[in-house]
Structure 1
């Protein structure tokens, strides 16, 4: 029916994922949906940043509220929400809060998923359209904002402002459209099943490590609750300042969780001259933010007990892979894939949480991504391999001695014997050519010799003579001729 109702070019384009040839959506509707998809996250994100700045400015004591100033400041704020390093009056700021980035990423992913549903996209190639549209528009908008804010107190370099927002939007769009456009199903078809098991376990291990970091941060914050209260009263007095400080601390909450992960895994983190890890502490001045109230003042030996948290995450990975294959070596390879994914994820998260913090005492904020990546890989692989090896089934090991032969039970079998055919028997070609039994006998007799034939003839003649004499009433004569026909018999 497709060849009858549509031309071949339209059918081929529809199979290749061209949105303009989708029979359910017209070309005009497709362009309208793609335009709304491209502009919607930009307008929503920019408005959210402007509203947040306006709220903070309005609540801050002694601040002068200006609509024009808020709208102009929302541009660099939008770039900072996409992790673009900015400059505050010439001082670099690269350690940016991650919570706005997560929120904008979720917005782009939700928009991409909705657009794929409205357009009826079902093929992996169709997801490239949404990825290109959202990534391209965010990149262009970032470059425009960077160009317009060149002389403002807060500005950014054009190249990072072009690349980073486009990359963030493209990744978020790919995640949002992966389910509806079949990207996950295509990955399952092309990836090895062992790699899929390893990737799932790696995601579980990454979540376990982040949970360990969150637990460390929560524990430190609970123990330092009085210090946190003092920092709020000292640095943010009043309701407006306190609300602004609370929003700032919430924005840096994911950064604090990643720092807690670095502490629990061993390498730790640093803020300027201050270095904190489970194995040591180098003190110094720190920013007066309540989110940093849990930073200790001196080292404690019980911190080493926190190393059990990443080990538990690795054991959880091994437990999840204990039954994927009866061969322990195969399970170990899956654990290695999970460890590699965790190591890469730690590098990405550590890079996002690190950056410049002005040009003063607290610069820079850094997480040692190289050391942390190796440590996270080891925390996943070593406990995970042990659990996957010993908790799972064992494949049977072939022994060197031959296995004993199994006794077989023979059942009685009744054979039906068929009559044997003569080996030299040849069927005559025609029934007329077959010799009658008499002729065959005569032929055999002829081979015995002439004497036998003569004797048989004489005997036949004597028997016929005796029969004639009996019919005539006479006694048969003796065979040797000694008796006569009329003589009495003694």
Structure 2
């Protein structure tokens, strides 16, 4: 019994920070990381299809059919374009994609923690395992779907899920391995502040799009309600479809709020222009306007306020206004990149009918979003922040000395200056130093020949008297002459 007890392996999750997991434990963790997101995602898609089938009218539930249909549904959740009866379907819901990314990131983070990975290099097997599993699973589904009504390109089914899984797993690994702290230490502080402000600006713009979409849908609630059918199954299916495509609609409204707008087939909705056209009859699109309104340009205050908010958040980033403007430019680049990604994933082909294609002008929307962040943000960051006065030329050397010092004690510096001033006041001329006036007088006496006489003058009173008489004789002598 003791031998059996000693042979049992310690659970991976209970390993200490300095204990390396065994090879068998590493294999189990990597296998769970590879299969966990695939099984969970496939089961979630199959559950949704089961609910739709059970609630729909005049349908016969088939477990095998649901499992087979869940494969293309899994590809659609990973943004792989499908062909339905020979018609392209590229407008795929973003909500399942966000869920798949979150699932892959969480799985990668958990696997890296269980394996005790302390750096991205140690977590590289986790990254490769999750990425490769998603790519291979998409390829298998694409090959199995050949000949069915719903097909997918095998190359696309291999590359796109692999790229999404790679991005999600990298984010999870980086987060748990402490890489953000290392990057923050090595990255420029202004650039880091700009990245955070850009993430804030993008979140605010998406929120503005969500608010405008919600208000437009609420004001058109009667039209939205008329789109639901009396049957519960059909209404549930339309409601579920609207929920899955909700992030797509929010991205389109975001493009409208910033100016460029969006299009669905012949319908083109822009801030300064409108062209009518047919739209799909789903409740998600019930809030679409029927004509242009003159008050629409007032909505441009939302992206302008977002730019002002970004500039206000960077007003204390640096004492130099030019450096603050550089941080605002970094934030604008982050917002522009986010608009490109969201716009690219939100649109696509929608069959070959009047609703094709659904598109957001990604290029124009990214440039406009960049300008909405940079122009008002730079204005606020420049004038709301501090302005460091230029140093005078004679103080440049002192400033350089203070910059080289780590810390300066103000009290000690004041005491040193006081002692220096006191020493200068108390200092007397040294006896060893020659007196310039004395040297001048000595030279004058030497020229007049009085140097010897001055030296012979006695210091006592008698000598002084005698000297006086001598001087009188000299004067008398001089008078006789």
* Aligned residue in 2 for 1:217: 213
Asked whether 1:282 is paired with 2:282, we answer no
TM-fit CA distance, 1:189: 3.1
**1:183, distance to aligned residue in structure 2 (A):** 2.3
CA deviations 1:262-317 (Å, max 9, x no partner) are: 11000000000000011111001100010001100011011111111111111111
Report the 3-state secondary structure (helix = DSSP H, G, I; strand = E; otherwise coil) of the residue aligned with 2:228: helix
In 2, Cα distance between the equivalents of 1:152 and 1:203?
Answer: 43
Contact persistence 1:271–1:364 (CA under 8 A): yes
CA distance in 2, matches of 1:291, 1:184: 38
Contact 1:124–1:186 (8 Å) recurs in 2: no
Identify the residue that residue 227 of structure 2 maps to in structure 1. Answer: 231
Report the equivalent of 1:434: none
Kindly name which structure, 1 or 2, has the bigger radius of gyration based on alpha carbons. 1
Structure 1 equivalent of residue 291 of structure 2: 298
Q: Does structure 2 retain, via aligned residues, the 8 Å contact 1:126–1:181?
A: no
Q: Quick one: distance in 2 between partners of 1:85 and 1:360?
A: 17
Which has the larger helix fraction?
2
Is 1:69 aligned with 2:80? no
**1-structure distance, mates of 2:122, 2:302:** 42
The correspondence of residues 101-250 of structure 1 with structure 2, limited to 5 A, is: 101-233=97-229, 237-250=230-243
1:411 maps to: 422
Q: How many aligned positions are there?
A: 396
Give the distance between the partners of 1:340 and 1:67, measured in 2 at CA: 48
Separation in 2 of the partners of 1:266 and 1:247?
30
In the alignment, the residues of structure 2 paired with residue 165 and residue 22 of structure 1 have an alpha-carbon distance, to the nearest angstrom, of 35
Match of residue 338 from structure 1: 331
State how far apart, in whole Å, the 2-side matches of 1:321 and 1:168 are: 32
Distance across 2 between alignment mates of 1:116 and 1:95? 34
Q: Deviations over 1:307-346 (max 9, x none)?
A: 1111111111101100010110000000011111111111
Structure 2 CA distance for aligned equivalents of residues 22 and 140 of structure 1? 34
Query: Matches of residues 321-336 of structure 1 in structure 2 within 5 Å?
Result: 321-336=314-329
Distance, in Å, in 1 between the alignment partners of 2:173 and 2:33 is 12
Query: What TM-score do you get using the length of structure 2 for normalisation?
Result: 0.79
Which residue number in structure 2 is paired with residue 396 of structure 1? 389
Q: How far apart, CA to CA, are the structure 2 residues paired with 1:129 and 1:349?
A: 30
In structure 1, C-alpha distance between the alignment counterparts of 2:343 and 2:59, rounded to whole Å: 35
Deviation for aligned residue 1:40: 0.6
In structure 2, C-alpha distance between the alignment counterparts of 1:399 and 1:226, rounded to whole Å: 70
The structural deviation recorded for 1:400 is: 8.9
1:151-201 Cα deviation digits (max 9, x unpaired): 111110001100000111111111122221122123223321111111111
Per-residue deviation at 1:127?
Answer: 3.3
Match of 2:340 among 344, 347, 355: 347
Q: Provide closer, same or farther for how the CA distance between residues 190 and 169 of structure 1 changes in structure 2, counting only shifts above 3 A.
A: same
CA–CA distance in structure 2, aligned partners of residues 396 and 417 of structure 1: 43
Within 5 Å, give how 1:3-22 maps onto structure 2: none
When residues 182 and 124 of structure 1 are mapped into structure 2, their CA distance, relative to the original with a 3 A threshold, is farther
Identify the residue that residue 15 of structure 1 maps to in structure 2: none
> 2: distance between equivalents of 1:167 and 1:112?
14
What is the RMSD computed on CA atoms of the aligned residues? 2.4
Q: Indicate how the Cα distance of structure 1 residues 290 and 159 shifts in structure 2: closer, same or farther if over 3 A, else same.
A: same
Per the TM alignment, residue 399 of structure 1 is displaced from its structure 2 partner at its CA by 6.7
